[in-house]
Amino acid sequence: TALLELKEVSKQFGKDTKALSDISFTIEKGEFVSIIGPSGAGKSTLLRCINRMVEPTGGDIIFDGISVPGLGKKALMKTRTQIGMIFQHYNLVNRLTAIENTLHGRLGSKSVLAGMLGLYSEEEKQQAVKLLDTLGLKEQMYKRSDRLSGGQKQRVGIARALIQNPKMLLCDEPIASLDPNSSKVIMKHLRTISTELGITVLVNLHQVETALKYSDRIIGVNSGKIVYDGPPAGMSSEE
């Protein structure tokens, strides 16, 4: 069944920049889809329109049966808890530990004040410990996040996204700042999250080889338009 459907989504910045033109596609539950394309193609804007970090200027986005563009503030917050976001630069709070950053992912569903006061339940703490352990960060759990390597930071980013039990992960260039070895670790974790947890993964990548290797499906974007949508195999024979 479809988890996400984009219908002729467009985004215009100012008068002249048409970042996205009539983007349409459907993504099934549990699919692992990579969006590839050159810098400036619109990949980041596309991903951000889905949870309305960027407001689309046209079209419709249906997530889990709900039209996202029409949502009021409260309903949007609720939908966002089901969409985990992973960033190129991790977006961790430096002075907080790995586990504190992970628990920060709970803030979508409680007040910021509660988070600041450390009012997390024992159950939430246990869930964070378990997640970090699964991601190979047992030793790093109580380290400040600015002491971690890039690959470790990104795994904390994944833990922070997963702690809300999302239905989908949006990953914006998750390995663009990482060395090949750490990149492989991150891609393997994302693949496992899709295959074993059934969480839909939508990832922006500019590394074509990596996209071909890990994805069920590739969406190629150029100048704000879809130029390819299909299996990795079809992509390699065309290029």
Residue 97 phi, psi dihedral angles, 5° rounding: -75, 170
CA distances from 28 to 22, 33, 44 (A): 20, 10, 21
Of 23, 36, 45, 183, the residue at the interface with ligand ADP (CB under 6 A) is 45
Residue span 51-90 as binding mask against ligand ADP, x where in contact by CB under 6 A, dash where not: -------------------------------------x--
Q: Which residue, 44 or 210, is less far from ligand ADP as judged by CB?
A: 44
Query: How many chain residues interact with ligand ADP (CB under 6 A)?
Result: 12
Cα–Cα distance measured from residue 27 to residue 156, given in angstroms and rounded to the nearest whole number: 26
Give the binding range for ligand ADP (CB under 6 A) out of 26-34, 42-50, 114-122, 191-199.
42-50
Cα–Cα distance measured from residue 239 to residue 65, given in angstroms and rounded to the nearest whole number: 35
Closest C-alpha to 46, from 231, 219, 228, 229: 219
Of 1, 16, 39, 239, the residue at the interface with ligand ADP (CB under 6 A) is 39
Ranges of beta strands (E only) in the chain are 2-13, 17-28, 32-36, 58-63, 66-67, 83-86, 168-172, 200-205, 217-222, 225-230
Q: Which residue, 58 or 115, is less far from ligand ADP as judged by CB?
A: 58
Residue 19 lies near ligand ADP (rule: CB under 6 A): yes
Closest approach of ligand ADP to the CB of residue 172, in Å? 6
Residue 202 lies near ligand ADP (rule: CB under 6 A): no
Give the binding range for ligand ADP (CB under 6 A) out of 12-20, 75-83, 186-194, 226-234.
12-20
Residue 40 lies near ligand ADP (rule: CB under 6 A): yes
Ranges of beta strands (E only) in 68-188 are 83-86, 168-172
> What is the rounded radius of gyration, in angstroms, for the C-alpha atoms of the chain?
18
Cα–Cα distance measured from residue 12 to residue 22, given in angstroms and rounded to the nearest whole number: 11
The footprint of ligand ADP (CB under 6 A) covers 13, 17, 19, 37, 39-45, 88
